[in-house]
Structure 1
Amino acid sequence: MAEQQRLLGGRYLLKEKVGTGGMATVFRAQDQVLNRAVAVKIMLPQYAGDPTFAARFKQEAQAAAALQSPYIVGVYDWGKDGDTYYIVMELLHGTDLKSGVRSHGALDPKKVAQIGSQICGALSIAHKHEIIHRDIKPQNIMVQPDGNIKVMDFGIARAKNSHLTQDNNVLGTAHYVSPEQTRGQELGPTSDIYSLGVVMYECATGRVPFDGDDAISVALKQVNELPVPPSQINANVDGDLERIILKCMEKDPANRFQTADELRQVLNSYLAGRAVDVPEPTRVIAGMAGAGGTEAMRMGDKTQTMVRPTAPGDTASNPVIRPNNQINTSSYDNEKHGMGKGKIAAIAIAIVAFVAIAIFAVSGFLNGGDQKSVPNLLGMGQEAAVASIKSSGFEPGNVNQSYNDQYSEGQVCEQTPDGGKTAAAGSKIDIVISKGPKPIDQVEVPDLSNASDLDEAKKIIENAGLTVGSTTQEANDADEGKIVDQSPKAGEKVDKGSKVDIVVSSGPETDSVPGVVGKTESDATNTLSNAGFSVNVESGGTSDTYAKGYVMKQSPTGTAKKGSTVTIYISEGKDTSSDEVDVDSLGLTGMTAEDAEEAIANAGLKYDPRQQSSSSVEVGNVIKYSPGGKQPAGTVIILYISTGPSE
């Protein structure tokens, strides 16, 4: 029988194949019980008979089923059908991150950070369950149509407390494995963080940090080489994101972020535009300087370190300091002879310097001898700048003020003419004094708790001059779709245009409510209490179906909030009101005894005649009767029959 026509476990009808991995094949299937589409992962036949792989496969299901996160693929069920092991999972729509990067190239830095933050959310849950993923790579990260991600395939993740943890083979893909994983050492959460750093590196640059002809050469580079800083590949990568990525990829696990939560907080701060306090990465591999590293080389007793290039206008905040004996390690080769790139560059610099000197000399000659070099005033205070102008043989000109992000308040940020140029002695030099960075308009963060849904919350944020950041869901007692948290908090003052992250309620956590209709009140109460629900007992009235004392109805059924109250309705038994007789309607008073007895018998009642004297009722007729009103069938009615006046 073809796999596509197979029914696994008497429940999951396999449809078409959607993918094949190293251990299993994945099918789209239909859950015949819950009538929903699912993904079913079936272990490949060559592994099904191997006890080690079978144990690992079952462990995958047990481990993954315990992980509940909006960023982890949900596992619904698992089992064995004959010789076939299978896992039933959430069916995802979208594309894997690897395909996305291949199609679109490098991603926007903010998108890279958002993806990294969501992966951290998945890893945080796994690590708290003592599960290391071991195979974080873009192929295992599904990008959904709404832009959010889900981490897939915990197939080689293994719980620390499992006997399988002693098997330290490198199971991950070489481009993303950590150095310690390559060495076969014990792995911890920081190994997943290293792999996540490689994923973010690839998203930010469009390429992996280390590549080679085979897996072994790539794995060796993970141990022995340093990555090229992402900004040297993609100039759009800013310094904060670069430091975050490179800290994740530190060779020594102790130098990385130590937990997924720690990394997520830093990424969220970066997304919110807040300051990110991450030190510059280590650029020398201990004992390996110059041995394959592209960023550092040891020469004599000094280590020459390449400094990240400073962006235009960033001179003050990120000065590039280069020692006199610094070299370009990427082109240095003491085995080559002749005129290398370094010598060519030196000659070019010498020619430029010679031409500049010649132009300066000719310019001074053509303009007469009364020319002076304009002093460089940038960064000076106003008084010091004026003094320098005068001492250089010039006159102070106009003094203006302007906002400037590069120079601190009170420093010269512009001058005319520029420093280093020549001008006539005694001419004026205009300066502009910095007022510091231009203030960013501050706005108050609105309160989103009263928004009816996510769309309204987004409008409120945008109307306040802010932008919508990440949106996540979490179980909460609030109604589904309500905003239950936000960052920054309502009322905080933030820069205009800052991002506001939103947490949306997915509704309260629910449990299945046991069905107790048909049980006795005692049994029903015990069943519901043991399931974690409170019980409220109400009368359900009469019932022709359920005997007295049995549950005839319950509310709610299906699922309900954990710990909520379930009301059970108890039957009062069958309705017997239709079997009752209205004695008064028989008109017994004044009847002859014979007629009264016949009327009572015809109504399904019984009679008991008794003699009593009466001066007003004719002999042989009914004086009175008891009881009256409505009486059940078979009730004895006492008839008092007149014997005439007493003597």
Structure 2
Amino acid sequence: MTGQGTMTGKVFNGRYEIKDRIGIGGMAEVYRAQDSTLGRVVAVKVMLPQFAADPSFTQRFRQEAASAANLQSPYIVNVYDWGHDDDTYFIVMEFVRGSDLKTAIQQRGAINQRKAAEIGSQVCQALTVAHNQDIIHRDIKPQNIMVQPDGNVKVMDFGIARAKNSVNDKTSAVLGTAHYISPEQAQGKDLTAASDIYSLGIVLYEAATGKLPFDGPDAVSVAMQQVKDEPTPPSAINPDIDPDLEDIIMVALAKNPQARFATANDMRMALNDYLAGRPVTLPGGAGFTSARTQMIGAPVGVNTAAATAVMGGVAPVDGTQAMPVMHGGATSPSATGSFQATSYRDSHTAPKSKKPLIIAIAAVLAVALIAGIAFALAGGGATGEMVDVPNVTGKTQPEAKSELERAGFELGVVSSTFDENVEPGLVISQDPTGKAAKGSKVNLVLSQGDETVSVPDFYKMTPDQAKAAAEEVGLKAVERESGYSDSVEDGHIMDQSPSAGSSVAKGTEIEYVVSRGTELVQAPNVIGSTEEEAKSKLQAEGFGVDVRHDYSDKDKGTVFKQDPLNDKVKPGSTVKITVSDGPEENEVPDVSSGNMSESKATSTLKNAGFKVSTDSAYSSSVPKGNVISQSPSGGTAVPGSTVTIVISDGPEPTQEPTTPTTPDEPEPTPTPSPDDTDPGADTPDDPDDAQAPAN
């Protein structure tokens, strides 16, 4: 079984549907979920069973989740909701894309120191908001600082933060991660805002150098170093670090809380001064300036044996956990305010005296010897009576501890390992089993659930590349959907969930989104519109407009060309439009000299951009086939149109005049003149005889 499988598909409060697990910590698992009410993706943090079953924890959880929900800052992960469902406590938070700062440091080592300062400044702003509401984070570490794609950060896990004086822990233990807790936190003292400032100092130290100031094989040894050891100056690890940034880090790491920055806002201003190139203001006055940053001497008399006893054995180093209370045999300088001032820049290479270390070891051995003798005299430990050891496999640690103590045994070393067949937080095995001496210790091994791996970064990979990268670490890559992207080419991955660097169980499905490239859109067709109408329509849809003018036979002022016209383009592209200036006015060639043939005149006019119309007429002066006249006349400037030319048909032909006759009528007989009268002829007396028959 997988930790993810136990929750996938579950719906909290009838609203938050669990999709997949995106992370696991020492106290909770985090899942990606869908908020059905608001239709958005959220992150749901579900408390592990062993904590959900602890009444004191759940009481504090309810109060602190409500306090965290009131924190509003662009640099704090928003807490939307929290509740209790089916004996499980959960917190609903903003789903943040990006990767945590720890992953970035692990992948790159030391990061750019200016970027580290920018991150520190933003974290300081987040802490200022919380501290102003009397909320101490108590677990500032790079795992809780999400770096988003835009470079800004979001601080997470204010859900385990505690409002001052809210709920007292019965064991006086404190929550935190050994590598990043403050000295006062390791000693179980009341915490102030200065504790978060110390933890942020360690984060900046690690970011600027790529290394932690204190490290060890287990949480106890690391916590002891936080209390008593001075950190190696960052410049000894990274010689390129700016002295001002180094001073800011070392002030934040002062053992005495009063020697640190008074507020997170003071630290933010110092970081901003460094980023702006201004003189950096540090606490401590003129004496501090002359000696640069002053380091605080180590406290003495820390009771190592007592600390180990509180831890119950070796604890994991990296996770958030309940840290031991470290009571010293002598008063700590962090309590009295007294400390030895030394210039770390001048003295860090000098050999240290071994005398204090020998004294400390002797003191620890003496305390351990005395404690052992006293314990033996008091009759502690095993009695020698052999009794049955309860079988506590499958139980939570608190349940197992309670059952063992009822049977007369003590809880011994508690370790953990991955086991896909056992729920996280439950006992896998115990030693001894069967019978054992009453009063002896029983060691437990707890399940961490499935083995977790870091999610590869699929960004800009092809699906095949992503599947290969996922399979290499025991994960599965599956396509969720596709979308448009201006920065990722078509067919490559633009997003994924869980995000790169997240810790997930082996076998988890990593969903990815494939880019379809830039989304193309079609510009509106503005041909026939006026210039102003076209510009207004294109700009309203987000396009740029390139206006040009040219002659055309279209109405002046109207758009007659557009590029692109019907093709899809990127949003915001520029569209070229051409506005008509009306027909172009050309000078008409003179072809009417009488010496130009029709074909030559036509060719000349067409070459000049005119159309040609022809007519004809007789001319006695212009040879047949040549141009007699034209309209418009030659030399006239007119818009390109039609020129009419008149072609000569030659001279008009001549004709003889004729008298028309009426058909079917006889031709009249001419009347003879008196001179032609025959003397011998008779003059007719009857008028009817005046005309002879037409025979």
Greater relative contact order structure (CA < 8 Å, 6+ sep): 2
User: Highest Rg: 1 or 2?
Assistant: 2
Relative to the length of structure 1, the TM-score reads: 0.45
Relative to the length of structure 2, the TM-score reads: 0.42
